[in-house]
Copies of this chain bind each other. A is one copy, B any other.
Amino acid sequence: MTDALRELLRAAPEAAGARLPASRVLAEELSVSRMTVTSAYDQLVAEGYLVTRRGGGTYVARELPHLAPPAPTPRKAPEPPRPWLPFQPGLPDQSLFPHRIWARHLERVWRQPDPALLDRPDSFGWPALRAAIASHLSAWRGLDCTPEQVLITGGASDGFDLIGRALLPAGARMAIEDPGWATLEHTLRGIGIAPVALRVDSEGLDPTRLPEDCAAVNVTPSRHYPTGVAMPLARRLALLDWAHRASALIIEDDYDSEFRYQGQPLPALAGLDGLQRVIYMGSFSKLLSPALRIGYLVVPEALIEKLRATLSVTGSRASLVPQPALAAFMASGEFATHLRRMRRTYARRQAHLLEALTPLSECLDLAPDPSGMHLCIDLRPALGVRITDAEISRRAAADGLTLRALSSHSVLPEPPQGLLFGYAGFTESQLSAAAARLCDLLAPLCAGPA
């Protein structure tokens, strides 16, 4: 009786609001006991299909309960993708992240959230996080800026999107490094910016080769991606000169400079310029975790208003959920402690990897790198005459290794040859095992007849 009545109500939405016969009347009509009818009515009232009104009477609910079911059918979650393989570059070791501390910060900031977290958000991001980043940059990157100049983004590509929309004319040309960040070309074209690739040399991008008609240039002066070379002071000054002369913007991508293992890094280019023509771009993807999707821009004072105008239309793309927790994590000093710990760990891993690759020293030009999270290794002639980096990468992939070819980071003809060994995200034993597999793969190629 209950089931039949429920089906009837489901099939006849036009009955919403109709009055049902009294239980006595319906029981007589259907030749069932009155108890059967009243218990069906009661059950369907409990389920929300029927309502009773003051003054008596049972009615079909206007708000049908299938809109608010007590328990939706659970669905099986899709399979997660295959895990990262060595030597995937740019991965922090997230298993060493202080998860308990982080989870405690998340819980604390959201349990009784600051009322400002629930009100109109600042399109530049959570103020305390912007202050913590300004403080971090002053200490670690020699960059003095105010918290007002810090703009939280949803990551690097969101940052480029915003710069393109707010600060560059449609169809503007932007000079980019070649080789460089492989997806940047695609990101720029997607937002209507024409990338102009310039081949870098052993000192990074050469400012004398910059076309005057570029509205902007993207550089990685602290550690060129992916070769790892640092841009010397003379070129930095020439680059700033060019930007002032061409009224162009420099976008300085400083993605992992905190991981410096020896010597003194040149401070951020943006600091040298006093944040006049340089936009500094940072991220927590490599320092902490790509899961955060939190990056930031540090922008010249003169550009703040334009960026705010664009953000007032598009809104911020950065989730607010991690921002107050990250601010607390930074202000407490736990962030700096974690970076120092990771710096020691990654330095050990780099040394371990170089040691494990020693059998290939005839094939690969093995050399330590004073910074970063991956090694960019040239092919020695003994190997380079026989095989391309792309072919090595293909064969390594078949062997369960992600060994990116340097040439795949280039769009210009005759790209340089090399291999990228990401080591930060893998334990020493993972690195040993992967290096051994690579030795098996490459040693015969190197030793064989030319």
Interface residues of A (CB under 8 A from B): 13, 16, 62-64, 66-84, 94-95, 97, 99-100, 102-104, 106-108, 110-113, 116-122, 124, 127-128, 130-132, 134-136, 138-140, 142, 146-148, 154-155, 157-158, 161, 165, 183, 186-187, 190-192, 260-265, 289-294, 313-322, 331, 333, 336, 339-340, 343
Contacts and interface: CB of A to CB of B under 8 A. Distances in A.
Contacts of A84: 119-120
Contacts of A314: 157, 183, 186-187, 190
Contacts of A78: 122, 124, 127, 130-131, 147-148
Contacts of A104: 107, 111
A122 B316 contact: no
A294 B319 contact: yes
B95 A118 contact: yes
B131 A75 contact: yes
Residue from the set A72, A139, A290 with the largest chain B CB neighbour count within 10 Å: A72
Contacts of A74: 131, 135, 331
16 contacts: A68-B339, A70-B333, A75-B131, A75-B132, A75-B147, A78-B130, A78-B148, A80-B122, A103-B108, A106-B107, A154-B154, A187-B314, A190-B191, A293-B320, A318-B319, A319-B322
Nearest to A257: B67
Contacts of A116: 80
A118 B94 contact: yes
Contacts of A331: 74
Closest 10 CB pairs of A and B: A107-B107, A291-B320, A319-B319, A77-B127, A72-B139, A94-B118, A293-B319, A103-B111, A75-B131, A103-B110
B81 A122 contact: yes
Given A154-B154, A314-B187, A135 B75 contact: yes
A229 B262 CA distance: 66
Given A333-B71, A336-B72, A127 B79 contact: yes
B139 A75 contact: no
B119 A83 contact: yes
B319 A292 contact: yes
Nearest to A187: B314
A181 B115 CA distance: 28
A229 B140 CA distance: 55
A72 B339 CA distance: 14
B154 A317 contact: yes
Contacts of A290: 121
Nearest to A110: B103
Contacts of A81: 120-122
A290 B122 CA distance: 12
Given A75-B147, A319-B292, A265 B67 contact: yes
